[in-house]
Amino acid sequence: MTGRTVVVTGGAGAIGAAVVRRFDADGDHAVALDIRPGPGVVACDVSDEGSVRRAMAEVRDRLGPVGVLVHAAGITGAGGIEDESPAAWRRIIDVNLTSAYLCAREVVADMRAGGGGCIVLVASVNARFGGSALSGPAYAASKGGLLTLARFMAREHAVDGIRVNAVAPGPHDTPMWQALDADRRATILGMLPGGGPGQPGGPDDLAATVVHLCRPESRFITGATIDVNGGQWMG
């Protein structure tokens, strides 16, 4: 199963770009959707319905129906309920969670007509343990929502041959990770069993899991959340 049209939201970011490279190396045709410009990037504000519709239409015109969707777009917050403003809350929920709904509803018909497809939602370990002031409440809630949305779509669209899964990454070497001070990074790595490898995972580590979930050998995996966090959370 190669030569598929693959859409990766947040595809200009560290994780999204790694996912794009992995799919391309597998023989698929991956396209990055992102609000940030870049080579080969289709401009898209994933929180805006019209922008998503236009971007997906551009992808179809260029490469044909979408067979795989990876939703990696997201932004973070900070603080507690009293610190995060209602405007910030709404923006984070829209970018992280509503966007997954908007993108999925644009590609489900393509997948159904093609006899099936794969969707992977990139959540977070924060969805597992509830987050903290480091992530903010909206980020944690939105990532938790992605896990439930994946299960809902997996049940709803199994009859269409569409498999839907989520990944919940822990510490990975991304700009978000690098923005933390050294003490905070050390504290997080200290949560890994045995101290972990002494460094976070890399974007390619997560990308490998995402691509695996979209391969034929994963045909019996749907509605699952795969934890890629070095053992930070086990459950």
Whether 139 is catalytic: yes
Instruction: Judge contact between 139 and 77, C-beta under 8 A.
Output: yes
Set 125, 139, 203, 228: catalytic member: 139
Active-site positions?
139
